[in-house]
């Protein structure tokens, strides 16, 4: 008899437990008062993926940057959405906002990062007031090919007022408008700065006139994951900055064999020069100092000539064009400056072997900056091309602006 009673008690306890769990489960799916706090409404709660729709889909791989991250509900409203991005071993939040009607969340930045893992957590109420939560992840496409932009001038440089911001891309760019939109050049004090494309791999920026001394210029490259050509994406997300120093513009008169050096509009000195000989005249027009070398080798074969010269130790050399025009010290034809034009297109100033600050070439070199302007007049050659070095100042403003890919 005792055995039967004990068995009856065990059955009763088990039944009570079943009823208790049934009550808890009922509470979870009815009035929201159960321990899990899942919202109220009639019937069984729907699956979370039916209440909260996330695109790209959960578990997605190699998601292309053209797809858009969205969280939405067909009815009810979103309560909270949190998204994070893991990229290059760093985790960062993805800011966004829920629409006024509560049906959609979208990120502030539509473009998905490449080679990244996204995690999305969302909480919403369905149309019956039942709460649901969803956790999804997806990874984005990892491109095989990337491009970068090499920026002139160098970061934190102090430059002359003629400096042009020039980006040389490591690959040809097919979608020039997309790349152009991802580059921003700004100035303080403000100036109107416009871009101009030279071919498919070079993008230059300049104001209408030379920079004002003291201007601070910032170059923002937001190129990361921008598709420059089919299957080729940008790599950089970086900021460069430089400062414009004093104004120095020097006027070379090839007919008079002189150069007037002006600092902030005032004449500092007039120095004798030799320009290109009749068979090899110097370009006319505005050229910008691109590089400054205490000493360099000059070999005629590297610039398209024969074996006319090979000088291993040219002093005080300042590069003016990509095609090989320099302003430099000349110690081998010291009688020519001020008297005759004997060079192969360069501008020569009196100097001594090994260079000296006491010579006209050394004096000028010590007072020059990358970005200074050298303008040549009265030479018997054409005007230097705008894309030969930083020759963009030889192009009119209207034509310059027409070179933008963003219309």
Token output for 311: 């000088």
**pLDDT beyond 90 at 364:** yes
Q: Residue 210 — φ and ψ, nearest 5°?
A: -55, 150
Q: Is the pLDDT higher at 321 or at 66? A: 321
When pLDDT is averaged across residues 366-382 and rounded to a whole number, the result is 98
> What is residue 310's predicted lDDT score, i.e. its pLDDT?
85
Q: Are residues 329 and 386 both part of a single domain?
A: yes
Q: Are residues 257 and 389 both part of a single domain?
A: yes
CA atoms of 236 and 233, how far apart (whole Å): 10
pLDDT (tens digit per residue) in 230-271: 999 999 999 999 999 999 999 999 999 999 999 999 999 999
Question: What CATH number is attached to the domain comprising 265?
Answer: 2.40.440.10
DSSP assignment string, 179-190: HHHTEEEEEES-
Q: Are residues 117 and 73 both part of a single domain?
A: yes
CA atoms of 231 and 237, how far apart (whole Å): 19
Query: Looking at the domain assignment, is residue 12 inside a domain?
Result: no
Q: Are residues 127 and 204 both part of a single domain?
A: no
- Check 196, 316, 344, 346 and give the catalytic one: 346
SS3 238: strand
Query: Looking at the domain assignment, is residue 130 inside a domain?
Result: yes
Distances (CA, A) of 185 to 31, 240, 288, 318: 58, 9, 19, 26
pLDDT (tens digit per residue) in 5-50: 443 343 333 333 333 333 333 333 333 333 333 344 455 678 889 9
> What is residue 90's predicted lDDT score, i.e. its pLDDT?
84
Residue for token pair 């729907």: 46
Q: Is 3 a catalytic residue?
A: no
Distances (CA, A) of 39 to 79, 91, 99, 131, 350: 12, 32, 22, 5, 89
- Check 196, 316, 328, 344 and give the catalytic one: 328
Q: Are residues 252 and 240 both part of a single domain?
A: no
pLDDT (tens digit per residue) in 197-209: 999 999 999 999 9
Q: Are residues 331 and 314 both part of a single domain?
A: yes
Q: Are residues 277 and 362 both part of a single domain?
A: yes
SS3 302: helix
When pLDDT is averaged across residues 157-161 and rounded to a whole number, the result is 97
Q: Are residues 110 and 167 both part of a single domain?
A: no
CB 163, CB 242: distance < 8 Å: yes
CA atoms of 283 and 153, how far apart (whole Å): 23
Domain count of the fold of the chain: 3
Q: Are residues 217 and 196 both part of a single domain?
A: yes
When pLDDT is averaged across residues 215-227 and rounded to a whole number, the result is 95
Query: Looking at the domain assignment, is residue 335 inside a domain?
Result: yes
SS3 188: strand
Residues 6 or more apart whose Cβ sits within 8 Å of residue 243: 157, 158, 159, 214, 215, 216, 217
> What is residue 335's predicted lDDT score, i.e. its pLDDT?
87
CB 185, CB 205: distance < 8 Å: yes
Q: Is 196 a catalytic residue?
A: no
> What is residue 26's predicted lDDT score, i.e. its pLDDT?
33
Token output for 384: 């230097």
Would you give the DSSP letter of residue 124? E
Pick the closest to residue 372 from 311, 305, 327 (CA basis).
Answer: 327
Q: Are residues 291 and 231 both part of a single domain?
A: no
Q: Residue 131 — φ and ψ, nearest 5°?
A: -85, 140
Query: Looking at the domain assignment, is residue 215 inside a domain?
Result: yes
Q: Are residues 292 and 281 both part of a single domain?
A: yes
When pLDDT is averaged across residues 342-369 and rounded to a whole number, the result is 96
> What is residue 154's predicted lDDT score, i.e. its pLDDT?
92
Query: Looking at the domain assignment, is residue 276 inside a domain?
Result: yes
With residue 51 as reference, give the H or E element that holds it.
Answer: helix 48-51
Pick the closest to residue 95 from 87, 84, 86 (CA basis).
Answer: 84
CA atoms of 225 and 111, how far apart (whole Å): 8
Q: Are residues 83 and 181 both part of a single domain?
A: no
pLDDT (tens digit per residue) in 68-119: 999 999 999 999 999 999 987 788 999 999 999 999 999 999 889 999 999 9
Query: Looking at the domain assignment, is residue 34 inside a domain?
Result: no
Query: Looking at the domain assignment, is residue 122 inside a domain?
Result: yes
> What is residue 22's predicted lDDT score, i.e. its pLDDT?
32
Q: Residue 60 — φ and ψ, nearest 5°?
A: -60, 145
Query: Looking at the domain assignment, is residue 404 inside a domain?
Result: no
In angstroms, the first-to-last Cα distance of the chain is 97
Residues 6 or more apart whose Cβ sits within 8 Å of residue 371: 153, 159, 160, 161, 162, 163, 244, 245, 288, 289
Q: 245, 271, 300: which is the final residue of a domain? A: 245
CB 223, CB 137: distance < 8 Å: no
115: left (phi over 0), alpha (psi -120 to 50) or beta: left
Strand 266-272 and strand 237-244: the pairing is unpaired
> What is residue 43's predicted lDDT score, i.e. its pLDDT?
59
Average pLDDT, the chain: 89
**pLDDT beyond 50 at 3:** no
Token output for 130: 């039942």
Q: What is the pTM of this model?
A: 0.77
CA 233 to chain centre: 12
Question: What CATH number is attached to the domain comprising 68?
Answer: 2.60.40.3780
> What is residue 65's predicted lDDT score, i.e. its pLDDT?
84
The residue range of the domain holding 319 is 248-394
Pick the closest to residue 193 from 216, 173, 159 (CA basis).
Answer: 216
**pLDDT beyond 50 at 285:** yes
Q: 140, 168, 199: which is the final residue of a domain? A: 140
Q: 224, 245, 266: which is the final residue of a domain? A: 245
Strand 285-288 and strand 373-377: the pairing is antiparallel
> What is residue 42's predicted lDDT score, i.e. its pLDDT?
54
When pLDDT is averaged across residues 332-346 and rounded to a whole number, the result is 93
When pLDDT is averaged across residues 305-310 and rounded to a whole number, the result is 74
When pLDDT is averaged across residues 312-337 and rounded to a whole number, the result is 94
With residue 80 as reference, give the H or E element that holds it.
Answer: strand 77-87
């Amino acid at each position: 008899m005792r055995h039967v009673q004990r068995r009856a008690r065990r059955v009763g306890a088990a039944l009570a437990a079943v009823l208790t769990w049934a009550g808890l489960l009922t509470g979870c799916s009815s009035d929201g008062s159960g321990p899990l706090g899942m919202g109220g409404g009639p019937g069984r709660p729907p699956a979370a993926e039916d209440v909260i729709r996330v695109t790209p889909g959960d578990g997605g791989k190699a998601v292309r940057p053209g797809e858009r991250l969205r969280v939405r509900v067909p009815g009810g409203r979103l309560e909270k959405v949190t998204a994070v991005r893991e990229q290059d071993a760093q985790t960062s939040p993805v800011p966004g906002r829920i629409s006024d009607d509560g049906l959609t969340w979208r990120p502030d930045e539509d473009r998905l990062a490449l080679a990244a893992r996204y995690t999305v957590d969302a909480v919403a109420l369905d149309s019956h007031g039942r709460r649901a939560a969803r956790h999804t992840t997806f990874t984005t496409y990892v491109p095989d090919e990337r491009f970068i932009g090499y920026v002139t001038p160098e970061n934190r440089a102090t430059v002359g007022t003629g400096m042009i911001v020039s980006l040389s891309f490591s690959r040809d760019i097919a979608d020039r408008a997309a790349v152009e939109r991802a580059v921003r050049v700004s100035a303080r004090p403000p100036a109107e700065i416009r871009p101009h494309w030279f071919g498919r791999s070079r993008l230059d920026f300049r104001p209408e006139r030379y920079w004002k001394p003291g201007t601070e210029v910032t170059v923002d490259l937001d190129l990361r994951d921008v598709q420059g050509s089919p299957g080729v994406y940008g790599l950089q997300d970086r900021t460069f900055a430089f400062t414009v120093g004093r104004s120095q513009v020097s006027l070379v008169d090839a007919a008079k064999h002189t150069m007037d050096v002006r600092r902030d509009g005032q004449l500092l000195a007039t120095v004798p020069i030799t320009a290109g000989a009749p068979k090899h005249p110097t370009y006319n027009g505005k050229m910008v100092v691109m590089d400054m070398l205490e000493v360099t080798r000059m070999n005629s074969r590297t610039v398209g000539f024969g074996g006319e010269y090979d000088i291993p130790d040219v002093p005080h050399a300042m590069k003016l064009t990509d095609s090989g025009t320099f302003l430099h010290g000349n110690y081998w034809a010291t009688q020519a400056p001020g008297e005759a034009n004997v060079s192969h297109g360069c501008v020569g100033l009196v100097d001594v072997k090994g260079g000296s600050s006491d010579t006209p070439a050394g004096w000028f070199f010590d007072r020059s900056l990358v970005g200074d302007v050298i303008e040549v007049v009265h030479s018997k050659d054409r005007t230097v091309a705008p894309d030969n070095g930083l020759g963009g100042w030889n192009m009119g403003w209207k034509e310059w602006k027409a070179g933008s890919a963003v219309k």
